[in-house]
Structure 1
Amino acid sequence: MAQAWRCSGLRWSADGPVLMWDGGRRSALTWGKQVAFEVADGGVRWCVGARGHVCPMRASVPGRSTGARCEECARLDRAHSVAADTIADDPRPYHVYLAWFGPGMVKVGITALERGPARLLEQGAVCFSWLGAGPLMAARRTEELLRAALRVPDRIPYADKRAVRSVLPRAAAGRAAEVVELHARAVALGDWPESLEREPCQPVDHVGVFGLEGVPAAVGSVSELVAGGAVSGELVAAAGPDLHLATRRGVVVLDTRLITGWELVPATGDELSVPVREFRADTAALQDGLF
């Protein structure tokens, strides 16, 4: 019987996306690579714990959960999250950024300066620019200023990001246009915290990094894994936590956050036997079904 592995998530390195496995194993992902695995038959999806600690309840979690944590571990994890606004005394400097995911989809966010662009790669930002840098609370106030004054959200649903990846503007300048325009409006605002240093608009484009140039439109996305189900496809692109896999039925998006907590074994065929949410012709999600 093949050895089972537990995936701990997708990480972005300088060389591209990497699947991480419990025990430290890493699987580098390159375009054209065959991604094929089966969920152990009769298996259960277990909570992945919080902040590097094993779940004390050994709780099971739903297949559709992208967090793969039970209620208690999710609470503990969020209690130590900068994004949850629960930490006020972090001494590290922070970047404020503008991220673009597609037409009309620009968000504002913050990330520790030491992380560089990692957060933008993890979110699947197609284009981004730094807006400023300074202490955590100053970065937070600037983020709130943009939300209130310019109505810039701090969150874009992943379903919306996926829907437009195959119809992005071809030219990098076209992809950067909304970021450039919003950056100019943002730096012109009053009430900026004095301790936050404005940064010039220098758009960074991730289309090449993600392999999105000419990527075929996805026909659907995996909605959950199930015991005994299989996923198999050729990797044609990746953005944020999403793998775009060419299957016998077309390109299907796999959110790798759905595979954490499961025991996986190598697949032996090219089968796709997990629930998939089909996309309508207008790129909106329709309903769950099995291909």
Structure 2
Amino acid sequence: MARTWRCSGLRWTPQGPVLVWDGGRPSALPWGKRVAFAVAADAVRGCVGARGHACPVRAAVPGRSTGARCEECARLDRAHSVAADTIADDPRPYHVYLAWFGPGMVKVGITAVERGPARLLEQGAVCFSWLGSGPLMAARRTEELLRAALQVPDRIPYAAKRAVRSSLPASVDERAAEVSALHARAVVLDAWPESLAPEPCRPVDHAESFGLCDGPAVVVGDVAELVPGGQVSGELVAAAGPDLHLAVAGRGVVVLDTRLMTGWELAPPSSPAGGFTVPVRELRREQEGLF
């Protein structure tokens, strides 16, 4: 019987993206690496639990869920989440940031100062700049201020980010332009919280880190879900946020959201040649101009 592993997700390190497996073992993902695995034929996708604890009922979860948690574990996870605005007394300092994912796609968000740019890499931000830093509640008020005064969203769907990723402006300056313009408007708002220290606009570009500088090959679709007995095999040509862009023989580039891998028992592919036998959402023809 083939040995199986469970994936804990994609992490971004100073050296690039890595897949992390249960127990903490990392697998580095350099460009050109073949990513190949199979889902155990008799596997059932299980809830990954919450806050480091296993799911008490070992619930099954849908293959298309990117959270891989049952309803109760998802509730417990969000109950201790800064992102869900359920924590008000965190004493750590926080950054407010502006993140750019493509033309017309800028969002505001917050992250603990100690995390540095990790949150931006995890979200797939192609360019970002810090806006200010201070206590958590001041950061929250600034986030809300930008939403109300400048109509800046705090969330952008992953599907929208993927849709523009292969048609980004070629130059760093072009990619930073919207962040710079919004930063200038934000720091002069009258209701800026006194306890949040403004920071200068210093755009950071992640296009090279994501493998997007030369423009990735045309994307033909994205994995809808993993299924028992299904196989994935492709050469890594780019990565952003949780997404791996895999060049699949005879098919083109397919995007795999690694959040779909969690909760499954994964094994080596059944043949050296691999194969790609999981459901893929093909891009509609009217979308092709975006890629």
Question: Normalising TM by the smaller chain, what interval?
Answer: over 0.9
In the other structure, the counterpart of 2:48 is: 48
SS, match of residue 5 in structure 1:
coil
Deviation per residue, 1:87-107 (Å, 9 max, x gap): 000000000000000000000
In the other structure, the counterpart of 1:87 is: 87
Identity %: 78
TM normalised by structure 1 equals: 0.96
Shift of 1:116: 0.1
Conserved? CA contact 1:164–1:283, under 8 Å: no
Counterparts of 1:46 and 1:155, CA distance in 2? 27
What does 1:97-176 correspond to in 2, within 5 Å? 97-176=97-176
In the other structure, the counterpart of 1:235 is: 236
SS, match of residue 225 in structure 2:
coil
In the other structure, the counterpart of 1:67 is: 67
Moved more, 115-124 or 262-271: 262-271
Deviation per residue, 1:107-154 (Å, 9 max, x gap): 000000000000000000000000000000000000000000000000
In the other structure, the counterpart of 2:263 is: 261
Shift of 1:188: 1.3
Shift of 1:23: 1.4
Counterpart of 1:186, as a letter, is A
Counterpart of 2:237, as a letter, is V
Higher-strand-fraction structure = 1
Shift of 1:282: 3.6
Conserved? CA contact 1:165–1:217, under 8 Å: no
Counterparts of 2:118 and 2:90, CA distance in 1? 19
Shift of 1:162: 0.4
Counterparts of 2:50 and 2:216, CA distance in 1? 35
SS, match of residue 169 in structure 1:
coil
In the other structure, the counterpart of 1:223 is: 224
Moved more, 275-284 or 169-178: 275-284
Instruction: Pick one of 250, 253, 267 that aligns with 2:252.
Output: 250
Counterparts of 1:282 and 1:164, CA distance in 2? 13
In the other structure, the counterpart of 1:196 is: 196
Cα RMSD (Å): 1.1
Shift of 1:216: 1.0
Deviation per residue, 1:138-186 (Å, 9 max, x gap): 0000000000000000000000100111100000000000000000010
**Aligned residue pairs, count:** 285
Conserved? CA contact 1:45–1:60, under 8 Å: yes
Shift of 1:47: 0.2
In the other structure, the counterpart of 1:283 is: 287
Conserved? CA contact 1:211–1:237, under 8 Å: yes
Shift of 1:42: 1.3
Counterparts of 1:12 and 1:23, CA distance in 2? 17
TM normalised by structure 2 equals: 0.96
Counterparts of 1:282 and 1:272, CA distance in 2? 25
Q: Which runs of 5+ in 1 are unaligned?
A: 285-291
Counterpart of 1:256, as a letter, is T
Shift of 1:283: 2.6
In the other structure, the counterpart of 2:24 is: 24
In the other structure, the counterpart of 1:287 is: none
Counterpart of 2:147, as a letter, is R
SS, match of residue 175 in structure 2:
helix
In the other structure, the counterpart of 2:181 is: 181
Deviation per residue, 1:246-288 (Å, 9 max, x gap): 002000000000000000001123311111011124437xxxx
